[in-house]
Each structure stands twice: as C-alpha cells, then as structure tokens.
Copies of this chain bind each other. A is one copy, B any other.
C-alpha cells in the first residue's frame, strides 16, 4: 500500500498518518518528494482497509500494491497446472487442446446420444450438457435434473467422452460431483462464495466461468476461494462480459487469456457460444480463442437447434463443429499446441482424478 499525501499536507498530518499505520501493526515509510510526500506501507500480513487511512487529514489517495490472491498466483506455483483425467489420455492445461462440446441442456436420451456421437466422431474429448439450468425466467425450461446426469453417465460409458455439467447449489453440487468428471460453476454463481467453498471440498476438477462483469482479479479471487478449501484443480473459462455493445449478446474478452496466463498457473478455456450468443460467430471466435492461446474451447452443439429448449440460436450444427475442429487443428501448431482427436480410455478402475498436492498448500 502507498499513501499519497496532499501537496499542502503538514508535517503533523504526515506524522499522524505514520502513527496510525504503525498503530494498525504495519510499518510506515515516509518518502518526501518535490511536490508531495508519499508513505509506503509494508508488512501487509492480513488486510488493511484502504479507507481507514484515506479519510485521515492531509491524505490525497491510497493505492493498493500487493495482490490479494495467493494460491492461484504464479508466485506460489510457477509451472502450469495440468488437469489429468485418470484412465484416459485427456488433459486440460497441457500441450493438448481441450475441446468440450454438447447441447446447452440435456433434453432427452436420444438427443444426448445423437449429439454425443457427432461430437465424439468429430474429435471432442469432453461432453457438456446442462442438467440444472439457471434461467433468467422462472417460467423457462429448468433442466431435466438427475435424469440428465444419468444420461450423461451413459454417454461417458458409450463414447468415452468425459462429462462437464453445471451445479447451481449445494444439492446439485453433490449430485454433479457424483456423476460428472468436471463440475461447472456458471457465470451467475462466480461470486456465490458459499457454493465456491463447497466446490473446494469436492474431489473433481471445477470449471469456473467468469462472471458477467467480473474483473480479472475477481475471477482469480473466486478461484482462490475454491483452492483455499483444498481443491487445486480449477479451470477458468472466459464466456463474454457485459458491455454497451449490442451486436453480440456479450463481449468476448479474449485478452483475458494472456492476462490470466501471466498471473496464474491455472488453465483457461473460452466459450464462444455464450460469449457471442450467435451461431454465425461461434466458428470465427473459436479460431480466435485458439489463436490467442487458450487451453481449449467449450461450444454448444445441437443436432436440431431450431427445436432446442434453450439457447438454440447460439448452438452450432454438427457439420459446423466438424469444420471448427478442422480449423482449430490447423491453428494449433502456430501456438505450439496439438489437437488429439477424441479420447483414449484405459481399462483402469480409478475413475476419480487424483488430488495433486499444491506446493503452496499448508
């Protein structure tokens, strides 16, 4: 923290600020300048409320210096986190790109199997599908619930795809953890800290989507919540933020990919389906996501988007998904990545991913 004094601040005011800082258990370092004095604060163990200082007489501004996240940071773990899926060759965060595809919501066994077959054949390693849908309207389709989870478990059995699906509260978290390979926390719940903590006790990887107006720091702090409870397998996902623009449903902020990679060791995916809300923009933005350096993409695919019960207009057709995979494959080497189509399942008993010990964990 740095306290900037007003140009006309008196020596007494400067002294009073230093005293208050030390009173709070920190060290004050006055730094006289030509026009004004600044005071450095060190020893920020715990937390110092900016406002405690800001309102003192003679103070112009208080500036925070130290970042508040720890476990998500490259300072605490230098090398990239790679999520492994025991019994398979699938990874998220390593050299291999992760491709997650499937319908917005599971609507029936037939629909799920038809789409799963298509995306598996095209080369996806992960199948996504909503069992519990957070819908803006209480009168809209809310998902098939546990039945959808059972269908997805069958999909895994039959096609080898690993399953990604969203939990929206404590009850559904327990169910999702039981059935899925990756637990998704949606954008609207990114700051549902109670849910994040509970996800921190799960033994499955968590895919955390960026909130609609979350800053980079808030996204990292949400991941920190999960990690601080002991679950270090967190995957971040950019899915567009809310801005003034109206030509897409959200504004896909691809620059957050290199920004996350600079600060954090966690993998980051991009969801161009929610990120644009428009079918005709999913392919261009998927290419861009891979080109910018993302660890993979998550896209909505539907065999009959005209009849989809939710988010039809942003779902692509299976043929478009084939094209997407082809394009991604061509871009991959430019960013030193590979695309391994589909998933190889070993015949192992272990189904749950191992908890990799985190170096910064107590």
Interface mask (A28-67 → B, CB under 8 Å = 1, otherwise 0)? 0101111110101011101101111011100001010110
Residues of B within 8 A of A288 (CB): 254, 288-289, 291-292
Task: Provide a sorted-by-A list of 18 A–B residue pairs whose CB atoms are within 8 angstroms.
Answer: A29-B33, A32-B42, A38-B65, A49-B308, A49-B310, A51-B306, A51-B312, A52-B312, A136-B221, A138-B229, A169-B192, A169-B195, A212-B213, A247-B259, A251-B253, A257-B284, A258-B284, A291-B331
Q: Is A158 at the interface (CB under 8 A from chain B)?
A: no
Known: A255-B281, A289-B288, A313-B54. A333 touches B330 (CB 8 A): yes
Q: Is A10 at the interface (CB under 8 A from chain B)?
A: no
Which parts of A78-108 form the interface with B (CB within 8 Å)? none
Q: Is A25 at the interface (CB under 8 A from chain B)?
A: no
Closest to A42 in B: B33
Chain multiplicity (copies)? 4
Residues of B within 8 A of A192 (CB): 168-169, 188-189, 192
Contact B280 A262 (CB under 8 A): yes
Q: Tell me the bound Cα distance from A43 to B36 in angstroms.
A: 10
Q: Is A256 at the interface (CB under 8 A from chain B)?
A: yes
Interface segment out of the listed A116-124, A145-153, A236-244, A348-356: A236-244
Q: Tell me the bound Cα distance from A252 to B246 in angstroms.
A: 15
Contact B248 A255 (CB under 8 A): yes
Question: What are the 10 A-B residue pairs with the smallest beta carbon separation, nearest first?
Answer: A51-B313, A33-B42, A213-B213, A291-B291, A169-B194, A288-B288, A287-B291, A188-B191, A51-B312, A288-B292
Residues of B within 8 A of A221 (CB): 136-138
Q: Is A174 at the interface (CB under 8 A from chain B)?
A: no
Q: Is A327 at the interface (CB under 8 A from chain B)?
A: yes
Q: Tell me the bound Cα distance from A291 to B248 in angstroms.
A: 18
Residues of B within 8 A of A243 (CB): 241, 243-244, 251, 253
**Least CB distance, A142 to chain B, in whole angstroms:** 8
**Least CB distance, A249 to chain B, in whole angstroms:** 10
Known: A136-B218, A138-B225, A193-B135. A259 touches B248 (CB 8 A): yes
Q: Is A75 at the interface (CB under 8 A from chain B)?
A: yes
Known: A65-B38, A251-B253, A305-B55. A281 touches B310 (CB 8 A): no
How many residues of chain A have a CB within 8 Å of chain B?
Answer: 114
Closest to A330 in B: B334
A residues engaging B (CB < 8 A)?
2, 4, 7-8, 20, 27, 29, 31-36, 38, 40, 42-44, 46-47, 49-52, 54-56, 61, 63, 65-66, 68-70, 75, 134-141, 168-170, 172, 188-189, 191-195, 197, 212-213, 215-218, 221, 224-225, 228-229, 241-248, 251-259, 262, 275-276, 279-281, 284-285, 287-293, 305-314, 327, 330-331, 333-335
- A52-B306, A55-B305 known, 9 other contacts, Cβ within 8 Å: A20-B306, A49-B312, A51-B279, A189-B192, A212-B213, A241-B243, A255-B284, A287-B335, A290-B291
Residues of B within 8 A of A170 (CB): 169-170
Contact B51 A314 (CB under 8 A): yes
Q: Tell me the bound Cα distance from A306 to B138 in angstroms.
A: 39
Q: Tell me the bound Cα distance from A138 to B169 in angstroms.
A: 19
Contact A139 B279 (CB under 8 A): no
Q: Which of B134, B247, B257 contacts A191 (CB 8 A)?
A: B134
